[in-house]
Amino acid sequence: MNEKNKKPFVLAVVGPTASGKTWLGVELAKIYGGEVISADSMQIYKGMDIASAKPSEEEKQGIPHHLMDLLDRDISFSAADYVQLANEKIQEILSRGKLPIIVGGTGLYIDSLLENVKFSEGGSDEAYREELYAFAKEHGNEALHARLAEIDSEAAEGIHPNNLVRVVRALEVCHVTGRKFSELKRESKMVESPYNSLIIGLNYENRQTLYERIDLRVDEMVKAGLVEEARQLWLESGMKTAANAIGYKELIPYFKDERALDDCIADIKQETRHYAKRQLTWFRRNPRIEWIMPDTFNKKIEILEKCKKTIAKHFEV
C-alpha cells in the first residue's frame, strides 16, 4: 500500500442541481457505512428547506447528514468557514469508523476541502468594500459581477452574481493585492491534501433530461410550499443575505403584485437551468471527477454497481 493510500478515504458525490446526488449519497452511505456531509451553500442555513432541496427524513433513510440547518440566515458563510467545519466533521465521522461522503453542488466548497486550500485574508479595504456594496445596490448584482469578470474572468465564472459577499471579496482581494483572486486561490492549493479522495460526478448525456428533472423539481417544490416559505422569508428579512437564492428572489415580483405567479415560477425554472450549466462548467474543469450518466442506465441498481466498480478501482473500502 503506497503512502497515498494510508490517508483516510473520503468520497464525494457532485453534479448539477436535480441530478440525483442526494439519492446516490444515501445509497452509497448504506453500502459502505457512511455519513453524509452537505456541500451546499444554502442548506447550511436554517429555514431555507424547500428551495435548497434539503433532504427529508424519509430521503435520508436513517443516514446521518451534517452541515445542514446550522446558521441563521443573516450570517455570512465563506468557503474557508466551510472547510474548517467540514474537516471537523470528517474527523468525527472517521473516529466512529464511518466513511465521510461529501454530497453537494457547491464546487468551490468541495474543491477547497479536497484540495486542501489554505485561505489567506489577502488584506482588506473597508472603504473600498463599502463602495462595492453601494455600487451593487445602485446598479445591481449583475453589474458588479461584470466588473469582476473584466478583472478576473476565471474567478467570476465560479461565483454566482447573486453571491454578493463572494463577488465583493474577490474584487477587494484584487484591489488590495494587485493580483487576480483566481491566481491567489491556485497558489493556496500547494499543500498536499490529507485525504485520499474520490469524486463521483453525476451528469446527463441528454441535457434535456436534466432540464426536465429541474422543471419537475420546481413543480414539486411549489406543491411542497415554496411560495409560502419564500413569502415568510421576504416578510422577515426582505430577502437579505442567504435568502437571496434561486427559488426565492424570483418570487418577489409576485409578492409585490408586479408579475403573475406562473411567470415567476417559469423564471425559477429558467434560472435553475442556468445555474446547472454553471455548476457543470465548474466541475468539468476538474479532471479527477469520475463521471456517471444516469440516463444511460436502465435501472438504479446499475448506477450503484457502476459506482461500486469505480470505488473499487481507487480504494478498498
- Can you say which residues are annotated as belonging to the binding site for substrate? 17-22
Pairing of strands 34-38, 290-292: unpaired
* Residues contributing to the annotated binding site for ATP: 15-22
Question: What ranges in 96-160 are assigned the alpha helix state H?
Answer: 107-114, 126-139, 141-151, 153-157
User: Which sign does the torsion angle of CA 164, 124, 138, 71 carry?
Assistant: positive
Q: Which grid cell is 175?
A: 484591489
Give the strands of the sheet with 9-14, arranged side by side.
Answer: 65-66, 34-38, 99-103, 9-14, 196-202, 290-292
| Annotation: binding site | 15-22
CA distance 202 to 99: 20
CB 32 within 8 A of CB 98: no
Q: Which helix (H) or strand (E) covers residue 66, if one does?
A: strand 65-66
Helices (H), 14-101: 21-32, 57-60, 79-95
- Find how far residue 146's CA is from the centre of its chain: 22
Contact between 170 and 122 under an 8 Å Cβ cutoff? The reply is no
Which residues 6+ apart lie within 8 Å of 194 measured at CB?
7, 8, 116
Q: What DSSP element (H or E) covers 313?
A: helix 300-314
C-alpha cell at 68: 445542514
With a CB cutoff of 8 Å and minimum separation 6, the contacts of 204 are: 19, 210, 213, 293, 294, 295
